[in-house]
Chains A and B, each alone.
Chain A
Amino acid sequence: MSGTDRLEVRKTYKLYVGGAFPRSESGRSHPVLDSRGEFWANAATASRKDARDAVRAARTAFGGWSRRTAYNRGQVVYRVAEVLEGRRAQLAEEISRAEGLSARAAGDVVDASVDRLVWYAGWADKLAQVLGGTNPVAAPYFSFSMPEPTGVIAVLAPQGSSLLGLVSVVAPVIVSGNTAVVAASASRPLPAVTLSEVLATSDVPGGVVNVLTGPLSETAPTLASHLDVDGLDLTGLAGDPTAVELERSAAESLKRVRRAPAEEPDWAADPGLEPMTTFLETKTVWHPIGV
């Protein structure tokens, strides 16, 4: 029997919450079109309840993930890069179909995504020294400061760059010990679902990253106003005036907010530290010195 006779087994694209792949509790799905406007697949439509469930999963995962050693978190993020490398062909095809890129350009995007994960993996056990240190106080005290993760971060992933952009906003959040609830690109969600499968097989504990698909109008207001969310990355709303309302909503519990840029960033550029530092707190400890 030749390969062409065999009927392809298609994948059901689901949410990724608490380490599992549920359909939306609402039972809804929505059609996802490829870059030529043709039907590609149905994706789960995350509801407000799904968003709340994801926040709960992220909160549950936060204690364990934030208390792991930095070395261990670095290895886990590196492991994501390893597993992603193994899925190169699949993701390149999906990116090509989602973003209309040539096969070669799409492959380059996957390579850049792997490299970005590797770059962030290395940051895990460097942040405390680069961002922390001892404070030369004018009294007999040992005073030192160190970065700590902010907590549960809601990330609105970029609308355009369905994998590199996604990795570039998720990796900096989790590498320092935060957990994330990610709203994937509304029109190009499928690479995010496949990345979820990578995460699920990369030693990333369940709940550290949760991925929701569907229109942002459903999930974003819930995440922005949720009292158990500590930070909000609005990158996914580049140039979108609705970001203002979400920032205002986030102010209710004084979330740390990464504002929406005027347009989607150049994901090939050096990210700098800001994607990490926005979701880090500085803790200062004082202890007396004496005999």
Chain B
Amino acid sequence: MAFDYAPAPESRAVVDLRASYGLFVDGEFVDPAAGGSFKTVNPATEEVLAEVAEAGPADVDRAVAAARRAHREVWGPMPGRERAKYLFRIARLLQERGRELAVLETLDNGKPIRESRDGDVPLAAQWFFYHAGWADKLEHAGHGPDPQPLGVAAQVIPWNFPLLMLAWKIAPALACGNTVVLKPAETTPLSALVFAEICQQADLPPGVVNILTGAGDTGAALVAHDDVDKVAFTGSTDVGRAIAQAVAGTHKKVTLELGGKAANIVFDDAPLDEAVEGIVNGIFFNQGHVCCAGSRLLVQESVADDVLERLRRRMTTLRVGDPLDKNTDVGAINSAEQLAKIRELTAVGDEEGAERWSAPVELPTSGYWFPPTVFTGVSQAHRIAREEIFGPVLSVLTFRTPDEAVAKANNTPYGLSAGVWSDKGSRTLWAAGRLRAGVVWSNTFNKFDPASPFGGYQQSGYGREGGRHGLEAYLR
């Protein structure tokens, strides 16, 4: 007999949403100069969660000026050991308000509560805790004997890990003595605004962290502002390219963490059940809204049928639905726009002759949903093998020899991550050495840690986040 899961929803009561939010500038929530606003919705239900201010050029001016003053007068001159204590405070506050932030993140983003509770939020706290410790040790970090902050950092982050990406950006910037103006993604602004409250609770000096909500125009104005010294962006390769063009000829230091089309290589000697777990984690974690997602499965021909059969069987057990349910594995697609993009590219997959199979799941009737999907019979020329889909869609290709696997894996303008599955240590290290990617997961996938540098090769961007390496982005 089959056992059904009883609903196990996490309570929303822990989140106290305001009807509307202002911009966070110079330590206070303020109304935007031009008065525009937009709504943020729960992608699992299409319910409006809150109204959020839209920052215009005047607000960007104001926030950058606040950050500049805070850098000049307070944060820049402050001894590293004092900066460190603020960051430790923030780390603790994130832990204390962890459950609230996890629920909020799931409401605004659509990701399963299991992931926001066990992944995004604890990692965000860890990011601050880790970088706090660097603030008074920078001269030992190998970036020169007298490293100095850059000044004001303009930071633009995506919607897939809203709070975690904020932590990746703000923690190293502050630890290195910079002040920041950060723009969260337009579809997921809420956790950044709660983070602004946390800055207030930590008594962080006004102007050290400024949060400007808005869409692409706000981000473009921020990045182009004459008085920023540093631009840090995580998002699409197209926008990253535009930013690299916009800052050409300026003094601004730039780091870009962009798209990917990672290969997940399964050799015939791999422990297949573990590999299947890794494949599932690689592409269905966070609905596939992951720049380093293992979206191209490269499986050795001799085990391809076996792997695919196990994969389909495993996919039928994935629970897709209410993101607040603690048993949910795959949540909602973040926005109608993203859902349309996934549908468009998967339709191209059909047209180009690849074979589609989706897990037999019942999708909710409201909200934005896409079933976990696998395309087989994919060739390297197919668009679904070349372009980032940024959804729960896996393209499967096969190979015969290790050299062929590496050649196919590297046949992409991206180079963010890759996975290798094999029981043979020498083989995984051989493959890891030849893969042109910034992160290689060997017999695992999608692992992150503030002590471990993350970032891409080629058109996946430049610069690293995390570890000693990540500090370089915020020092001169």
**A interface list, Cβ under 8 A from B:** 130-131, 133, 135-139, 141, 143, 145, 150, 230, 241, 243-245, 247-248, 250-254, 256, 272, 277, 281-288
Q: Mostly helix, strand, loop or mixed at chain B's interface?
A: mixed
Given contacts A137-B452, A284-B439, A285-B440, 12 further A-B contacts (CB under 8 A): A135-B467, A136-B451, A137-B447, A137-B449, A244-B248, A248-B245, A250-B244, A272-B144, A285-B442, A286-B439, A286-B442, A287-B442
**B interface list, Cβ under 8 A from A:** 126, 142, 144, 237, 240-241, 244-245, 248-249, 256, 258, 413, 428-429, 432, 437-444, 447, 449, 451-455, 457-459, 461-462, 464, 467-469, 472
Contact indicator B449/A254 (Cβ below 8 Å): no
Instruction: Output the least CB separation between B411 and chain A (Å).
Output: 13
| A253 to B258 CA separation, bound complex (whole angstroms) | 12
* Closest 8 pairs between A and B when the two form their complex, measured CB to CB: A244-B249, A251-B244, A247-B248, A137-B449, A135-B452, A248-B248, A251-B245, A287-B442
Contact indicator A138/B126 (Cβ below 8 Å): yes
- The total number of A-B Cβ pairs within 8 Å is 101
Q: Which of B245, B437, B467 contacts A283 (CB 8 A)?
A: B437
What are the residues of chain A within 8 A of B442 when measuring CB–CB? 285-288
**Would you list 11 pairs from A and B whose C-beta atoms are within 8 A, ordered by A residue?**
A137-B452, A143-B452, A241-B249, A243-B249, A251-B241, A251-B245, A252-B245, A254-B462, A277-B472, A283-B440, A284-B438
Contact indicator B413/A286 (Cβ below 8 Å): no
What are the residues of chain B within 8 A of A139 when measuring CB–CB? 447, 449
Nearest residue in B to A136 (C-beta to C-beta)? B451
Contact indicator A141/B461 (Cβ below 8 Å): no
Contact indicator B142/A130 (Cβ below 8 Å): yes
Instruction: Output the least CB separation between B242 and chain A (Å).
Output: 8
Nearest residue in B to A146 (C-beta to C-beta)? B433
What are the residues of chain A within 8 A of B432 when measuring CB–CB? 283, 285
Nearest residue in A to B440 (C-beta to C-beta)? A285
Nearest residue in A to B448 (C-beta to C-beta)? A137
| A150 to B462 CA separation, bound complex (whole angstroms) | 10
Nearest residue in A to B249 (C-beta to C-beta)? A244
| A153 to B256 CA separation, bound complex (whole angstroms) | 19
Contact indicator B459/A284 (Cβ below 8 Å): no
What are the residues of chain B within 8 A of A244 when measuring CB–CB? 248-249
Given the known interface contacts A135-B451, A143-B449, A284-B439, the answer about A253 and B459 at a Cβ–Cβ threshold of 8 Å is yes
Contact indicator B248/A251 (Cβ below 8 Å): yes
Q: Which of B428, B458, B461, B467 contacts A145 (CB 8 A)?
A: B467
Instruction: Output the least CB separation between B172 and chain A (Å).
Output: 15
Instruction: Output the least CB separation between B415 and chain A (Å).
Output: 8
Instruction: Output the least CB separation between B237 and chain A (Å).
Output: 7
What are the residues of chain A within 8 A of B437 when measuring CB–CB? 283
Instruction: Output the least CB separation between A102 and chain B (Å).
Output: 35
| A139 to B256 CA separation, bound complex (whole angstroms) | 27
